[in-house]
Structure 1
Amino acid sequence: MSKDFPSSKLERGSRIAKTGIKVGTNYAKRYLKKKSGNTNGNTDGAFHSENAKEVFKEFTKLRGTALKIAQGMSMDQGFLPEEFAEVMTQAQYSVPPINKALVRSIIKKQLGDYPEQLFASFESEAFAAASIGQVHKAVLKDGRKVAIKIQYPNVRETIDSDLGLAKILVKRLVKKGADIDPYFDEVKETLLEETDYINEGQQIDLFRERFGGLDIEIPEWVEEYSTNKVLCMTYLEGRHLGEFLKENPEQETRDHFGQLLWDFFHNQIQDMDYVHADTHPGNFLFTYDGKLGVIDFGCVKKFPKEFFMDYLRLLPTHLDNNEEAIRKLYEKLNVIKPDSDTPENEERYFKFARNYGMTFAEPYKFEVFNFGDEEYRNTIKYFTKDAPIGNEPRGSQHFLYTTRVHLGLYNILMKMGAHINTSDSKDILSNILNVEFDELTEENNRMQSL
């Protein structure tokens, strides 16, 4: 095993603990220097960034749970320093693949033979590598092109120890006394599901049955070449968002694919079932025949019904601009604390959260909304970078993934500059929530014009 890929609990624990101690010591020293006024001119931003780079360097070598945590840190939930989260965005892309010999041995152990015996052809160079596994192209002996996802060694076995040590590290970054256990419990449950490739194969089948049709293309799970640590699925041809945009597509083409994305997520809401919860550009393909390809089903969530309904109710409540109803929902979702010792801080955060919610509700005010609007993009950017709560986690732990879904969708549509028709999505939400969206937006527009 390469020394740059520690897989035993002892090795991994040692690296995480060493990183945590080093970062913790750095923050302690920084605190003392600030007390004495001796920071040598170094800004807080630069300090957070350097510490994040230290964590990222070690977590990249560890991969697995550790790197998933780094990815989580890149999703700005408002309780990590902005500069720290910015560095961690690299965890979405900058992961070196494991060596070819290790790939062969994993396939032999999991599928019973070496890849050259199992497949008509197998590309030893991975074409994609992420936190939990990497993906290779292959051709089955029946001629089907497939993608083979191979899980890194011992990822699942180290979840508990990695999370336990990472919790120690994160506690040094968040407000003293903040309860981070529910968030870590949610991450653990999701990681256990993501590291079970049989579960992912079943999710592929489920989504293929639900959405596989004229406009949504979902791969076929090839169960006979899959285990809980190797996943085989048919290969989809297409290009990712970056490649698509480099082609400088016509506005009509941008709108077409943007509408497919928008409708895909609202149709999932309509089913009130599992939701694809990793809205990252790397998980979608724009096919050459005009379909939306969905290719990763590791992070699929079924949210508790009460939470999910309350989350959906935020939309019409913000469109109605009903301050009392908004406040009650925020209290129920643990976004604000009615019994806080610092009511002025709660009021400040309430105003921020309400305005943030209004921004997310904005597209539903229009029959067709332009996600390419520069002013709107700047407003979203402001809210995702300037939460006033500092390093204190807020809201239900389920927000970790609803935020990933919602913000991820908006970010992709803004990069595409897509014009989205919201009529069908409002009909779906109207049926679920028993609310007439047209009446809400008309009344809100009337009040704003007065």
Structure 2
Amino acid sequence: MKEQSNIPTGKVERAGKFVTTGLKVGTNYIKHYTRKLMDPSISKEELHQDNAADIYNTLSNLKGSALKVAQMLSMDKGMLPKAYSEKFAMSQYSAPPLSGPLVVNTFVKTLGKTPSQLFDKFNMHASNAASIGQVHKAEKNGKQLAVKIQYPGVASSVKSDLRIVKPFAMRIVGMNEVDMDKYFEEIETKLLEETDYKLELRRSMDLSAACAHIPGLLFPGYYPEYSSDRIITMDWLNGLHLKEFLQTNPSQEIRNKVGQALWDFYQFQVHKLRQVHADPHPGNFLMQPDGSVGIFDFGCVKVIPEDFYVNYFQLVDKEVLKDTARRHQIYINLEMLHPNDTPQEIAFFSELFQHMIDLMTLPFTLETFDFGNDSYFNEVYAYMDELYNMKEVRESKVARGSSHSLYINRTYFGLYSILSDLKANIITGQHRIQQLVEGHQPE
């Protein structure tokens, strides 16, 4: 893949790239509707493909927050047209990498030495490149290392990038600005944390140690002495990303082991630690032939407030939800309903939320769950599509749902998506979660 010799870091220069892309998207719409006048049978798929390619090319060269938003959107199956989700998913593994001189410059500026002065071996060509940084392979004292290097200008451009990318996100997703503002503040906070590599290093070491006892998980060791505010050095983990792993045609037993390890990893964090690795895209996991999973990249961690946790997981308790008044109060506490809603709005949105909750919490209410059940996911995606197209939902004047739910929902959607791809049949019930929380070895 062609390397980048520079990244636009100035606000004006970055904004200019977006303006140019906006003009291209506008031209694509004109071309599409001109063709449709000549041939009414032409679908919007070609338009989506053209727009997705133009937007992704801009975002992948700008890196940073803009590309991260595309990555997040790609994980939410059912939210985007297929052309966008497929193109944006490339940001999980294969954005264009930085050239060698920029890499060396980052080392000299932050650690005072070049890579060749710090390591016995250092591969100047990135092994993979994503939205915030890229990874290089290195060697020191016989140990294979992974060195993550943050792109220049990422931290300083978060706020301006999000202001610029918001109209694109609104147009692609079809949401009103009122729906987006509330959540973009949460996204901005998390993206600023992701650019703080010293914070990520601490969280990586702490959460890896806290979860090390869970069966089937592997974590790299970390090296603060070879890390800085823009560099993180850790052990190199071998393994395969999900797509490559599935191409090896693993047995159902191995798929189940991978799925169980991931399920346990997330439930322990949420229910015991009250903080969670909130970036569950496949690029952050390396599958092993024996069914264990290597986990890294704790840049995006969501700390879960206690009051939000209590209300959110009461939605799993069917007895609680039988009490209409209590259920409505939980919806209000989670900002799904609002005190000034009319009786008609309360009835309408309560019914919508209840059906979605019944679908999404189903694995928690059963002792085991088969994530290979296509009919379950077809029902989930069909209902999401139905919600997306409801006039009452799209024209709602208030954003529904706490900002805390953004990354928690994203975490569970990402986890479910991976388990679906694995077609894993695993233990999901409350007894298993309780064992994890109490520190007992799961049965």
Matches within 5 A, 1:83-122: 84=84, 87-122=87-122
8 Å contact 1:334–1:394 — kept in the other structure?
Answer: yes
Q: What secondary structure does 1:387 align onto?
A: helix
User: Match of 1:209?
Assistant: 209
1:145 corresponds to which letter in structure 2? Answer: Q
2:250 corresponds to which letter in structure 1? Answer: P
Q: What secondary structure does 1:242 align onto?
A: helix
**Aligned-residue offset at 1:240:** 2.2
8 Å contact 1:81–1:390 — kept in the other structure?
Answer: no
**Aligned-residue offset at 1:370:** 1.4
1:73 corresponds to which letter in structure 2? Answer: L
1:153 corresponds to which letter in structure 2? Answer: P
Distance (whole Å) between structure 2 residues aligned to residue 416 and residue 2 of structure 1: 35
Q: Answer yes or no: is 1:398 the counterpart of 2:404.
A: yes
- Name structure 1 gaps, 5 residues minimum: 432-450
Matches within 5 A, 1:332-351: 332-337=333-338, 339-340=340-341, 343=344, 347-351=347-351
**Aligned-residue offset at 1:45:** 5.8
**Aligned-residue offset at 1:351:** 3.0
For residues 212-251 of structure 1, what are the alpha-carbon distances to aligned partners after superposition, in whole Å with 9 as ceiling and x for unaligned?
2363221111000000101101112222222322222222
Q: Answer yes or no: is 1:150 the counterpart of 2:149.
A: yes
For residues 305-328 of structure 1, what are the alpha-carbon distances to aligned partners after superposition, in whole Å with 9 as ceiling and x for unaligned?
212221111111488555554443
8 Å contact 1:204–1:218 — kept in the other structure?
Answer: no
Distance (whole Å) between structure 1 residues aligned to residue 164 and residue 428 of structure 2: 44
Assess, with a 3 A threshold, how the Cα gap between structure 1 residues 214 and 55 changes in structure 2: closer, same or farther: closer
Matches within 5 A, 1:319-334: 324-334=325-335
Q: Answer yes or no: is 1:418 the counterpart of 2:424.
A: yes
1:254 corresponds to which letter in structure 2? Answer: R
Report the more deviating stretch, 227-236 or 418-427: 418-427
For residues 393-427 of structure 1, what are the alpha-carbon distances to aligned partners after superposition, in whole Å with 9 as ceiling and x for unaligned?
53222222112211111111111111111343353
TM-score (norm 1): 0.83
For residues 125-166 of structure 1, what are the alpha-carbon distances to aligned partners after superposition, in whole Å with 9 as ceiling and x for unaligned?
2111100100011111x2221100011111101112112222
Distance (whole Å) between structure 1 residues aligned to residue 347 and residue 137 of structure 2: 53
Q: What secondary structure does 2:113 align onto?
A: coil
1:405 corresponds to which letter in structure 2? Answer: T
**Aligned-residue offset at 1:379:** 1.9
8 Å contact 1:20–1:168 — kept in the other structure?
Answer: no
**Aligned-residue offset at 1:17:** 3.7
Distance (whole Å) between structure 2 residues aligned to residue 429 and residue 347 of structure 1: 37
Matches within 5 A, 1:205-244: 205-213=205-213, 215=215, 216-244=217-245
Q: What secondary structure does 1:180 align onto?
A: helix
8 Å contact 1:326–1:354 — kept in the other structure?
Answer: no
1:427 corresponds to which letter in structure 2? Answer: Q
Assess, with a 3 A threshold, how the Cα gap between structure 1 residues 413 and 236 changes in structure 2: closer, same or farther: same
Distance (whole Å) between structure 2 residues aligned to residue 172 and residue 380 of structure 1: 23
Q: Answer yes or no: is 1:8 the counterpart of 2:15.
A: no
8 Å contact 2:71–2:89 — kept in the other structure?
Answer: yes
**Aligned-residue offset at 1:200:** 0.8
Distance (whole Å) between structure 2 residues aligned to residue 279 and residue 93 of structure 1: 13
Assess, with a 3 A threshold, how the Cα gap between structure 1 residues 87 and 257 changes in structure 2: closer, same or farther: closer
Matches within 5 A, 1:143-222: 143-170=142-169, 174-176=174-176, 178-213=178-213, 215=215, 216-222=217-223
Q: Answer yes or no: is 1:407 the counterpart of 2:397.
A: no
Assess, with a 3 A threshold, how the Cα gap between structure 1 residues 415 and 397 changes in structure 2: closer, same or farther: same
Distance (whole Å) between structure 2 residues aligned to residue 391 and residue 47 of structure 1: 25
CA RMSD after TM alignment: 3.4
Distance (whole Å) between structure 2 residues aligned to residue 394 and residue 82 of structure 1: 25
For residues 23-65 of structure 1, what are the alpha-carbon distances to aligned partners after superposition, in whole Å with 9 as ceiling and x for unaligned?
57988x89xx89xx97974656654554443322211111111
**Aligned-residue offset at 1:121:** 0.8
Distance (whole Å) between structure 1 residues aligned to residue 64 and residue 350 of structure 2: 36
User: Match of 1:271?
Assistant: 272
Distance (whole Å) between structure 1 residues aligned to residue 192 and residue 22 of structure 2: 24
Assess, with a 3 A threshold, how the Cα gap between structure 1 residues 339 and 271 changes in structure 2: closer, same or farther: same
8 Å contact 1:150–1:229 — kept in the other structure?
Answer: yes
Report the more deviating stretch, 290-299 or 83-92: 83-92
8 Å contact 2:255–2:291 — kept in the other structure?
Answer: no
Assess, with a 3 A threshold, how the Cα gap between structure 1 residues 94 and 381 changes in structure 2: closer, same or farther: farther
Report the more deviating stretch, 252-261 or 384-393: 384-393
Distance (whole Å) between structure 2 residues aligned to residue 76 and residue 318 of structure 1: 30
8 Å contact 2:183–2:406 — kept in the other structure?
Answer: yes
2:299 corresponds to which letter in structure 1? Answer: G
8 Å contact 2:314–2:320 — kept in the other structure?
Answer: no
Assess, with a 3 A threshold, how the Cα gap between structure 1 residues 221 and 158 changes in structure 2: closer, same or farther: same
Distance (whole Å) between structure 2 residues aligned to residue 367 and residue 329 of structure 1: 25
TM-score (norm 2): 0.84
User: Match of 1:284?
Assistant: 285
Distance (whole Å) between structure 1 residues aligned to residue 331 and residue 83 of structure 2: 27
8 Å contact 1:319–1:361 — kept in the other structure?
Answer: no
8 Å contact 1:79–1:390 — kept in the other structure?
Answer: no
Assess, with a 3 A threshold, how the Cα gap between structure 1 residues 3 and 96 changes in structure 2: closer, same or farther: closer
8 Å contact 1:273–1:302 — kept in the other structure?
Answer: yes
1:374 corresponds to which letter in structure 2? Answer: D
Report the more deviating stretch, 233-242 or 312-321: 312-321
- Provide the identity percentage: 37
User: Match of 1:448?
Assistant: none
**Aligned-residue offset at 1:6:** 1.5
Report the more deviating stretch, 347-356 or 241-250: 347-356
User: Match of 1:446?
Assistant: none
For residues 249-304 of structure 1, what are the alpha-carbon distances to aligned partners after superposition, in whole Å with 9 as ceiling and x for unaligned?
22222222211111111111232432111111111122345532111111111022
Distance (whole Å) between structure 2 residues aligned to residue 354 and residue 177 of structure 1: 25
**Aligned-residue offset at 1:429:** 9.7
Report the more deviating stretch, 2-11 or 149-158: 2-11
8 Å contact 1:315–1:361 — kept in the other structure?
Answer: yes
User: Match of 1:315?
Assistant: 316
